[in-house]
Amino acid sequence: DTAVSQTPKYLVTQMGNDKSIKCEQNLGHDTMYWYKQDSKKFLKIMFSYNNKELIINETVPNRFSPKSPDKAHLNLHINSLELGDSAVYFCASSPSLAGVKDTQYFGPGTRLTVL
Amino acid sequence: AQKITQTQPGMFVQEKEAVTLDCTYDTSDPSYGLFWYKQPSSGEMIFLIYQGSYDQQNATEGRYSLNFQKARKSANLVISASQLGDSAMYFCAMTIMNTGFQKLVFGTGTRLLVSP
């Protein structure tokens, strides 16, 4: 039973295209996140959602638009892809948004390559 | 600024030996959480261990223990009896409260290589 799942695992596309990454969690958590891991392995938060509501947007370009149809799903749509968007994107979830103790559990990651 | 620092880009250890991965943090919040994650070559992020800022005892999870020294703002990960499967990137992270909401801030990671 996968706790946090993402599809696809790999995504190769041309500059200028639009693509989506899907994320689902079956942990019953209220909060979900998107992180970007760059080529130097640095992980940085992009967005967080709590019960379908956007909470944190870390100055991510408008080309990135997260959507949460329900609290178990958080999708990431990227418009007009650029070379610099190439990275590994991780989805994560945690029980709540306001607990410093709450562990975030990560999905397997989606490796996006923009050509 | 709230920050996590991992000063060891790479570490080597022989199988069955213990190894310590360093992590220092900077925050002015009295309440925070410290986490370690493992990222093997397959890419997934695996949660290893958690330490709360108010916890009196160091956290332990099997072969993993967290050496928490609050006054020095350090949260080093100790892996005992290293195994070949421990070869991976290890990330230290801290939860900070951003306008009332939790945010996880990561260090730059340490690559551990376990040799036979």
DSSP A27: S
**Amino acid B84: pLDDT:** 97
Q: How many CB atoms lie within 10 A of CB B36?
A: 25
Please name the residue that has the structure tokens 């370009």: A61
Interface of B with A in 52-71 (CB under 8 A): 52-53
Average pLDDT across chain B, whole number = 94
Retrieve residue B5's tokens.
Answer: 């620092």
Q: Best of B39, B102, B106, B108 to disrupt the A interface by mutation (most A CBs within 10 Å)?
A: B102
pLDDT tens track for A39-89: 999 999 999 999 888 988 888 899 999 999 999 999 999 999 999 999 999
Question: A98, B32: Cβ pair inside 8 Å?
Answer: no
Burial class (CB in 10 A: 0-12, 13-18, 19+), A13: middle
- The closest CB to that of B33, out of A92, A98, A101, belongs to A101
C-beta contacts of B67-76 below 8 A and 24+ residues apart: B67/B20, B68/B34, B72/B24, B73/B24, B73/B25, B73/B26, B73/B27, B74/B22, B74/B23, B74/B24, B74/B25, B75/B23, B75/B24, B75/B25, B75/B34, B75/B36, B75/B51, B76/B20, B76/B21, B76/B22, B76/B23
**Amino acid B101: pLDDT:** 80
Percent of chain A with pLDDT over 70: 99
Instruction: Tell me which chain A residue has its CA closest to the CA of residue B111.
Output: A41
Which residues have a Cβ under 8 Å from the Cβ of B99 and sit 6 or more positions away? none
Question: B106, A42: Cβ pair inside 8 Å?
Answer: yes
A112 CB neighbours in chain B (<8 A) are none
Instruction: Tell me which chain B residue has its CA closest to the CA of residue A55.
Output: B101
**Amino acid B98: pLDDT:** 66
Examine the pLDDT at A104 and tell me if it is beyond 80. Answer: yes
pLDDT tens track for B74-97: 999 999 999 999 999 999 999 987
pLDDT tens track for B16-48: 999 999 999 999 888 899 999 999 999 999 999
